Structure 1
């Protein structure tokens, strides 16, 4: 049987808890990049546009004020960057800076169910990673998580200072003295690399990163790699820059990290799509395709991973419920639970995915079995069909 490791949701537990209680939600997901001509004026116009849109949709005056106040604050992160603000019953629930370009269109609205898709598009699952910088004098690393702004304090940061009594190999002279000092210096570098590697191995043990990016001096990188275990080495990708050198090197490191993270996400998406095709071909009842079957699986908390093409859902709607099973295709499917209302299918599905602790993978419908806009890998098999 094909297997997949289900990833952990990247949403905060308090947000998941807040979603379980009925209320009126108001949200704004906008581009907050400051690398534009006259950024203050454009930011003010953006806030006015958001406020007007929310007022037209019937948002309360207080909710609009809360969102405006959050959008005034500068993100403090290099462009491109987005901002997501979420309010429930006039109280701020979430205000997040999301590094990177907008994932899809801006979203501004109010209703019984929030649009969580932008947040999960930036943070599809909990993906910790480490950025390591090494040199002849020592090294260090910082721990981050996908979709979290790097301007804040990193989740883990360590620095190892090596011996500095002999850092440079002798380039002139001859005889035993030159050889002696070269060997002595190499031993210092190797010892320092071993200390950095030991700290890094401990961080890998405690944080379980999916990616380790190593930058810095080429010889220091070689020595560090030689000190790492095979399991840790498999997570490493190297970038041939020293980010301390200049702004261009720092930018090159950021770009390398972005590309490396994109490869991890693409690999995850490919794995899920491959498993869905495998189960579909086998007919082993370990996956379902189509909105109706996926809703059925979510109602039973049976869906482990939901692959979704938000654009392919179009204007379809589903019914959001006040309690489990959280979502229904029709009011009579609610099982006696209060129906909050008929909402966009993407909002209802994403909310149910979060509340049943499933994983969301955003895909193109063309890659899914039968071209369905939604498919799911199941926690347990669907039972055999009941004879008519």
Structure 2
């Protein structure tokens, strides 16, 4: 996963207030806004107990629950620094628990986890209920959305909505196919998910460019999509659950190949820290353990991280803080343009849950 979406956050110094909370406005909740504000009051008290200043609390309070236009279950991630909003992101699902943290580094891992696996896709729903003949009356309606799963649940992708007389469908399907191919190329899709009438969608699929046709997955029983949510959301959830993005899987394959030949890879927290200090990490592989006890010492710059306070002081760094290891690792990755791959232990279990694919073989990083 590329972490460029976090770059604006690290362009300013901390301390940061990091808040994650459920901002769903479910019809089953009698007064959802009151429920959101109650959850926020609990988090505000937690931030205050960690030393958050009044301006930071005010900045979060002015943002929490502002996503009134997002339907369905979801959440918000709010980051502030020095009394100003630093980053606001919608969460595709409510957080497992509401979180509040105030510290030198922002707590970004829950946000990253919510964005995974980050699969670029194209969803197409072909609506038609008439006679299977181009001499029939009526129209074929095409709904399509190019998005990134699961973020598209709460941040709409590029949409296409066209209605075409069925008498013109044979010719028009080719034009629609070329338009869809253009959207697919822009985000380098790895799956084209097609639902709807078997006859009408079959004509469209056969007129897609050959390269795109090979990525088509047809699904049945799509149903109607909820306004403001991802097209074919329920089917996409079933299709992509537990799946890694192709880009991340390629990085994992490269890591495993390098590990086999004792090449440009390393495992363990110490090795990862050493590689990040040198800016030598192409990708970091992490088993996400929210309860992880690992801590790291950090300085003001992304590459200033170490296992011990003494190591950083040896290099003349005076402004030091002890932080959660994942917060320090993510900041270093963003600052050095490295990527992060989250995976289950079924995929890979590196030492201490951390592995790195190096930009170049570096014996100093092999622990």
TM range (shorter): 0.7 to 0.9
Larger CA deviation: 123-132 vs 231-240:
123-132
Report the counterpart of residue 352 of structure 1 in structure 2: 332
Report the equivalent of 1:157.
Answer: 159
Q: Retained in 2: the 8 A contact 1:290–1:373?
A: yes
Partner of 2:244: 265
Q: 1:232 maps to which residue?
A: 212
Q: d(CA) in 1 for partners of 2:97 and 2:192?
A: 31
Distance in 2 of aligned mates of 1:326 and 1:123: 26
CA contact 1:214–1:239 (8 Å) conserved in 2: yes
Q: Equivalent residue for 1:303?
A: 281
Distance 1:27 1:131 in 2: 33
On the 8 A contact 1:130/1:141 being kept in 2, the answer is yes
The change in CA–CA distance for 1:198 and 1:263 in structure 2 (over 3 A counts) is: farther
1:318-340 deviations in whole A, cap 9, x for unaligned? Answer: 01221242322223443334544
Cα distance in structure 2, aligned partners of 1:271 and 1:355: 23
1: CA distance between counterparts of 2:365 and 2:175?
A: 60
User: In structure 2, what is the Cα distance between the partners aligned to 1:262 and 1:43?
Assistant: 28
Structure with the larger helix share: 1
Find the residue that maps to 2:17 and give its secondary structure. Answer: strand
- Asked if the contact 1:32–1:81 (Cα under 8 Å) also holds between the matched residues in 2, the reply is yes
- Rounded to whole Å, the distance in 2 between the matches of 1:55 and 1:303 is 36
Query: What residue ranges of structure 2 are gaps of 5+ in the alignment?
Result: 128-138
Higher deviation after alignment, 346-355 or 127-136:
127-136
Work out the number of aligned pairs and report it.
350
TM-score by length of 1: 0.79
Residue of structure 2 equivalent to 1:4? none
Deviations 1:123-145 (A, max 9, x none): 24764332222245242422223
**Structure 1: runs of 5 or more not aligned:** 1-6, 168-184
1:102-147 CA-to-partner distances (Å, cap 9, x unmatched) read 3x54321111101010111122476433222224524242222334
142, 146, 168: which is aligned to 1:143? 146
CA distance in 1, matches of 2:150, 2:68: 14
Aligned-pair CA distance for 1:158 = 3.0
Which segment drifts farther, 72-81 or 92-101? 72-81
CA RMSD of aligned residues (A): 3.1
The residue correspondences of 1:38-53 to structure 2 (distance < 5 A) are: 38=30, 39-53=32-46
Query: SS in structure 2 opposite 1:202?
Result: helix
Question: In the alignment, which residue of structure 1 is the partner of 2:7?
Answer: 16
Normalising by structure 2, we get a TM-score of 0.83
Larger radius of gyration: 1
The 3 A distance-change label for structure 1 pair 74 and 100 is same
- Deviation digits for residues 161-204 of structure 1, max 9, x if unmatched? 42x2xx3xxxxxxxxxxxxxxxxx4xx32212112101111222
Tell me the equivalent position of 2:199: 219
